[in-house]
Amino acid sequence: MSHAWTRKDLLTIRELERADLELILETARDFKQRPAAAEARPLAGRTVVNLFVEPSTRTRTSFELAARRLGADVISIDSESSSFRKGETLKDTGQVLEAMHADFVILRHSAAGAPQFLAERLRAHLLNAGDGAHEHPTQALFDTFTMRERFGPDRAWESLHVVICGDILFSRVARSNVWALRKLGARVTLVGPATLVPDVFRELGVEISHDFDAVLPGADVIMLLRIQHERQRRSFFPSVGEYVSLFGLDQRRFERCKPDVLIMHPGPINRGVEIASEVADGPNSTVLDQVENGLVIRMAALKLLDGIA
């Protein structure tokens, strides 16, 4: 692939060109197919700081493993055990990390734009590990990687219909996936209650539906999202029971889908709400493939950013 990576930071999918997406996917594929490629330890001597100001299991562990696999020294900091608790600002925290020669800062933060804010003030490479309801770029990268892996390289993106169902309004995963999938050429339909899937999303080049049952049979991929109560300050639907009856993917609905439909979920799952356990754990589910592929995508992102002086 002749395209070269030129960005200091990985902040959003929105800002990337299709060639950037393809380069990350290709680099990750190489790490997956040739695990020995990491043995050269291309990040030896580099310091990676995982700065998580919001809870995480998958993203934090995966970035830590990816950096270690590439030979970097890794420090993980969370808000509960850091000087954030004493009122230290994000900017001051970033400058402290840079004074200790951090080469990479991986930031998860509840405020949209926090990674961009820090990226503009530090020499270190910034990677967005999820900022508010804004973006979660590496999640979308390994979601698309997983789709490509399952459907094969010969399946055109333009032939794929991806349905994303759930709390779209508060979902950084949905936004990053919409940007990635539209840049690659896939058809995307966003589904959920009108309060959580407003018409304004059509501006991103997607279709909108409030009728999950109507879109199920035509979907090649169904991505379920949990209700993000931590970001909602009021009720967006009358009851969880009503939500489940209209938008929960249970076995009955699953049986109306294409036989090779991919069932995706970024996790964490609220079993019995957006997805029933028998579907989440069934043969069409890619939930754990997504987690596994997160490792090589994050290795690829770290390696590409490291190539920028």
Contact residues toward ligand CP (CB under 6 A) are 56-59, 130, 139, 266-268
Taking the C-alpha atoms of residue 264 and residue 285, their distance in angstroms, rounded to an integer, is: 6
Nearer to ligand CP, 56 or 110 (CB): 56
User: Exposure pattern of 135-154 as b/e (b: 16+ CB <10 Å)?
Assistant: bbbbbbbbbbbbbbbbbeee
Q: Which is nearer to ligand CP, 5 or 294 (CB)?
A: 294
We find the least distance from the C-beta atom of residue 130 to ligand CP, in angstroms, to be: 6
- Strands 47-52, 73-78: pairing kind: parallel
| Structure-token pair, residue 203 | 């501006």
Q: Which is nearer to ligand CP, 130 or 193 (CB)?
A: 130
User: In the complex with ligand CP, which residue's Cβ is closer, 14 or 58?
Assistant: 58
The residue to which tokens 């090589």 are assigned: 296
**Which residue, among 106, 113, 114, 112, has the nearest Cα to 89 in the 3D structure?**
114
Instruction: Give the Cα separation of 58 and 1 in Å (integer).
Output: 30
As measured in angstroms, the least distance from the Cβ of 58 to ligand CP is 4
Nearest residue (CB) to ligand CP, 56 versus 76: 56
Q: Which long-range contacts (CB under 8 A, 24 or more apart) does 231-240 make?
A: 231/132, 231/133, 231/170, 232/167, 232/170, 236/167, 236/169, 236/193, 236/195, 236/196, 237/193, 237/195, 237/196, 240/273
In this complex, which beta carbon is closest to ligand CP, that of residue 187 or of residue 266? 266
As given in the structure block, the two tokens for residue 28 are: 């990750």
Quick check: helix, strand or coil at residue 6?
A: coil
Find the length of the chain.
309
Tokens of 117: 């804010």
Smallest separation, CB 151 to ligand CP (Å): 21
**Minimal distance, residue 111 CB to ligand CP, in Å:** 16
Q: What minimum distance in Å lies between the beta carbon of 139 and ligand CP?
A: 6
Shortest distance in whole angstroms from residue 126 CB to ligand CP: 17
Nearer to ligand CP, 193 or 266 (CB): 266
Phi, psi of 303, rounded to the nearest 5 degrees: -65, -45
For residue 136, the minimal CB distance to ligand CP (Å) is 6
